[in-house]
Chain A
Amino acid sequence: MVQLYRKKRIEITVEAARARAIIEMIESVGAKGYTLVSEVSGKGNRGVRNDAHLSDVFRNVMIIVIAAEEIASRIIEQSPGLLENYAGIVVVSDVEVIRDEHF
């Protein structure tokens, strides 16, 4: 049986223009990595968001971070300030991973 390790998974859907600031914050609080999904679309309180491909203005991306609880809570604390005036959804869940040293 493979050993599993408990981690937090933070999923941040944010408009593309703000992705860089979020990623910088994620790295600065000590997360070892993240996954970026560059084309996500859907509907929220800013209406339908899709890839009107002229610029990034109406485009969303999804940033996924898996991290230990302590680092995850720092990301969660810093997120609201960075998301002010921007489209953004932050979802946190408990997950289990198989390679502890990666996160």
Chain B
Amino acid sequence: MDTLLQSALDNLISPMVLFFALGVVAGWLKSDLAIPEPISKGLALYLMLAIGFKGGVELASNGLGGTVVAAMALALALSFSMPLLAYALLRAATRLDVPNAAAVAAHYGSVSVVTFVAATGFLGYRSISYEGSVVAMLALMETPAIVTGLLLARRGMSEAAGNRAPLLSADVTREVILSSSVVLLIGSLLIGWMTGKDGMTVMAPAIVDPFKAVLAVFLLDMGLLVGRRLRDFRAVGWSLVAFGLYMPLLGAMVGLITAKAIGLSLGGMTLVAVLAASASYIVVPAAMRISLPQANPAIYVPLSLAVTFPFNLIVGIPLYYAAAQWIAGM
């Protein structure tokens, strides 16, 4: 437990968490501090490019083995199935109706790229390596949960909504599959994989050393967003806030066990736990607003952005890392 406490404290006083906290406080107090939107979008693109490229180089050096295939399969299985668990819990423990429960469930099956990037920063501080295939898992896990969420909604609302329109329109499907994060992650993963160590020599000055600093600046912006949304809690309610805290713990547990089963390293297990624990707040809300308009974004956005994201960033990541250490030692 000593190491857990130590790594939790280390995490707490890392620049990334402190800048995040600064953002939360400033946003909550309605300071006019703001990172201009094009810059914050640029930072997000930079982080995804760096993560994808590093993952690709890692894949190139270790080859495409059976673990890679197993990791892909695990990613799809987790993303498709986690919403079922979330939905069952939401219907049993909260007063959410069918469309809202289905929408929230989809968010918790999908992933938060920022949480994943922060976790790689956490591992980076400790010089813990991880498999490149986990980066591909990140890209794969973003969308399947949306399908499960919409199926749950359709099943629950079948008598009311008699229409048999396709689950996802062609436009939404294209937007989700070709969302900027998926395209950039997979694209830079492939480029990293194709160019390998030589490519890394070219890219390293831009994507290795500045990475943690850029991440800290980006988290300042995330903090501002979270701080401004803190006032939306009233719409969310306590039983849902509790869900936003225990659902990531359950997800992380499933992630750790399955990652261990396919033989991932300590770093890989930690990251799969983070993937399974995190909830989307960019891609899934946009898809839900178009495909499931009956669900209220004032519920699912604050829940995943202002409850689960900070929880994972501050408490979750060191906790999942400690649990992964414990499982790896078994």
Tell me if B293 is interfacial: C-beta within 8 Å of chain A.
yes
Chain B stretch 197-229: residues in CB contact (< 8 A) with chain A: 225, 228-229
For the complex, what is the distance from the CA of A85 to the CA of B294, rounded to whole Å? 6
- B289–A17 touching, CB < 8 Å: yes
Option from B225, B294, B301 in Cβ contact (under 8 Å) with A57: B301
Tell me if A20 is interfacial: C-beta within 8 Å of chain B.
yes
Give how many B residues have a beta carbon under 8 Å from the other chain's beta carbons: 20
Binary interface profile of A, 52-77, with partner B (CB < 8 Å = 1, else 0)?
Answer: 11111110000000000000000000
Residues in A whose Cβ lies below 8 Å from that of B290: 17-18
For the complex, what is the distance from the CA of A15 to the CA of B294, rounded to whole Å? 14
For the complex, what is the distance from the CA of A84 to the CA of B294, rounded to whole Å? 9
Chain B stretch 238-296: residues in CB contact (< 8 A) with chain A: 281-283, 285-286, 289-290, 293-294
- A57–B37 touching, CB < 8 Å: no
Binary interface profile of B, 90-110, with partner A (CB < 8 Å = 1, else 0)?
Answer: 000000000000000000000
With a 10 A CB-CB cut-off, give which of A15, A52, A53 has the most chain B CB atoms: A53
- A51-B37 contact in complex given A17-B286, A56-B286, C-beta closer than 8 Å: yes
Q: Give A84 Cβ to nearest chain B Cβ, in Å.
A: 8
Tell me if B81 is interfacial: C-beta within 8 Å of chain A.
no
Tell me if A47 is interfacial: C-beta within 8 Å of chain B.
yes
Residues of A within 8 A of B (CB): 15, 17-18, 20, 46-47, 51-58, 84-86
Residues of B within 8 A of A (CB): 37, 40-41, 171, 225, 228-229, 281-283, 285-286, 289-290, 293-294, 297-298, 301, 305
